[in-house]
């Protein structure tokens, strides 16, 4: 019996060294680590022609595809972290595309190169207010993860009389279909109209489950007829920021945010660009046999985790 060999090369076996696939793609702006993991579970990611599975790793020399589209090397290069604040009006959705043709927040965002905007949490179509977006998937993942206890603050208009018993229930916690939920703080705001049967409250939560604020109120038979997110972590919705407009954080603000989430700070953009040009020039000329450049060592203290309180 003769041995038969296939004329088609088989895909390479998964890499055991390298970096986790979800971390690479999250950094490249394909989404938060959690959303990238969902893409991998759905079979939408390939490494060297082989459908990836959770836990796979990749090296710089590996070929990556997402939705059968080749991931370019330039996109995998470390990009400067960008963060923008967006004032979402009611009526816009947070999906990139909509089968019903509804307006999305992504219709109004500035263009970004070698990456894409990742929304840090979502707001439903009937909720307005502050959204934060970034091209850094790891940053997005940490800001959304419950272990970092990042506060979300909302102004809520509710219909009818709210008793002290209801308020106590909201503070202690109520059972929803996906588990217990509560408001960390709840404060009644001044009545805007003495004759109105609507009342405004400020509420704070530390997680972002789907329609969580509305569902907490609804568990007590209370109808929410207006919901506005006014703060996420240390970022408050600027009064000067018009609806459907964005405001970009400065390099210093971005680094403060990275540090608070135990992520490495980044060099100033102009210094980053100069370093990139020097590296490209060295690669173009090739290694020198003499006159080594002195190395510059930098030391940085390991950031301690700072939770929003």
Decide if 239 contacts 185 (C-beta within 8 A): no
Decide if 277 contacts 289 (C-beta within 8 A): no
The pTM (predicted TM-score) of the whole model is 0.72
Q: Mean pLDDT over residues 230-238, rounded? A: 97
Q: Count CB atoms within 10 A of the CB of residue 184.
A: 15
Greater pLDDT, 156 or 283: 156
Closest by CA position to 217, among listed 263, 252, 171, 264:
171
Q: Mean pLDDT over residues 141-167, rounded? A: 94
Decide if 162 contacts 197 (C-beta within 8 A): no
Decide if 132 contacts 83 (C-beta within 8 A): yes
Is there a catalytic annotation at residue 195?
A: no
In this predicted structure, what is the pLDDT of residue 5?
Answer: 46
Please, what is the average pLDDT of the chain?
A: 84
Q: Which CATH number fits domain 19-76: 3.90.1640.10, 2.40.128.110, 3.10.290.10, 2.60.40.420?
A: 3.10.290.10
Same fold, 19-76 and 83-255: no
Q: Mean pLDDT over residues 225-247, rounded? A: 97
pLDDT over 70 at 289, yes or no: no
pLDDT in tens, 1-39: 444 444 444 555 555 678 889 888 887 878 878 889 999
In this predicted structure, what is the pLDDT of residue 28?
Answer: 80
pLDDT over 80 at 155, yes or no: yes
Q: Mean pLDDT over residues 33-54, rounded? A: 91
Q: Mean pLDDT over residues 283-309, rounded? A: 44
In this predicted structure, what is the pLDDT of residue 133?
Answer: 98
Q: Which CATH number fits domain 83-255: 3.90.800.10, 1.25.40.10, 3.30.2350.10, 3.40.50.80?
A: 3.30.2350.10
92 secondary structure, DSSP code:
-
pLDDT over 60 at 277, yes or no: no
Q: What dihedral do alpha carbons 261, 35, 175, 218 form, nearest 10°?
A: 100
pLDDT over 60 at 237, yes or no: yes
Q: Mean pLDDT over residues 109-136, rounded? A: 93
Decide if 116 contacts 83 (C-beta within 8 A): no
The CA–CA distances, whole Å, from 85 to 41, 110, 131, 258, 290 equal 31, 11, 6, 16, 50
Assign 272 a pLDDT band (cuts: 50, 70, 90): low
In this predicted structure, what is the pLDDT of residue 151?
Answer: 97
What does the domain layout of the chain look like in residue ranges? Answer: 19-76, 83-255
In this predicted structure, what is the pLDDT of residue 74?
Answer: 77
Lowest-confidence region among 80-94, 102-116, 250-264, 269-283 = 269-283
pLDDT > 90 in the chain, percent: 61
Catalytic residue among 62, 98, 107, 124: 124
Give the C-alpha separation, 247 to 253, whole Å: 12
Greater pLDDT, 297 or 240: 240
Lowest-confidence region among 181-185, 227-231, 270-274 = 270-274
pLDDT over 70 at 309, yes or no: no
Pairing mode of beta strands 128-134, 223-232: parallel
Greater pLDDT, 26 or 92: 92
Lowest-confidence region among 6-20, 50-64, 209-223 = 6-20
Lowest-confidence region among 109-113, 120-124, 210-214 = 109-113
In this predicted structure, what is the pLDDT of residue 283?
Answer: 56
């Amino acid at each position: 019996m003769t041995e038969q060999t296939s004329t088609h090369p088989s895909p390479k076996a998964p890499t055991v060294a390298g970096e986790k696939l979800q971390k690479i793609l999250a950094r490249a702006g394909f989404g938060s680590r959690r959303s990238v993991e969902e893409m991998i579970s759905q079979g939408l990611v390939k490494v060297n022609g082989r459908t990836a599975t959770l836990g796979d790793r990749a090296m710089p020399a590996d070929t990556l595809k997402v939705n059968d589209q080749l991931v370019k090397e330039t996109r995998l290069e470390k990009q400067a972290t960008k963060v923008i604040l967006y004032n979402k009006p009611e009526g816009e959705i947070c999906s990139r595309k909509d089968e019903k043709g509804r307006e999305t927040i992504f219709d109004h965002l500035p263009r970004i190169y070698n990456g894409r905007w990742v929304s840090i949490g979502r707001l439903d179509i009937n909720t307005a207010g502050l959204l934060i977006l970034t091209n850094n998937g790891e940053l997005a993942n940490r800001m959304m993860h419950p272990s970092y206890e990042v506060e979300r603050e909302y102004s809520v208009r509710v219909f009818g009389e709210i008793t002290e018993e209801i308020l106590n229930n909201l503070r202690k916690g109520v059972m929803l279909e996906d588990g217990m939920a509560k408001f960390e703080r709840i404060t009644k705001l001044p009545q805007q109209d003495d004759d109105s049967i609507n009342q405004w409250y400020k509420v704070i939560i530390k997680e972002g489950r789907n329609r969580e604020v509305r569902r907490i109120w609804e568990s007590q038979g209370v109808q929410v007829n207006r919901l506005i997110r006014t703060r996420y972590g240390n970022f408050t919705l600027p009064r000067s920021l018009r609806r459907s407009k964005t405001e970009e954080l400065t390099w210093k603000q971005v680094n403060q945010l990275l540090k608070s989430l135990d992520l490495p700070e980044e060099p100033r953009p102009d210094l980053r660009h100069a370093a990139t040009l020097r590296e490209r020039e060295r690669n173009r000329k090739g290694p020198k046999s003499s006159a080594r450049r002195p190395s510059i060592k930098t030391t940085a203290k390991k950031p301690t985790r700072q939770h929003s309180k």
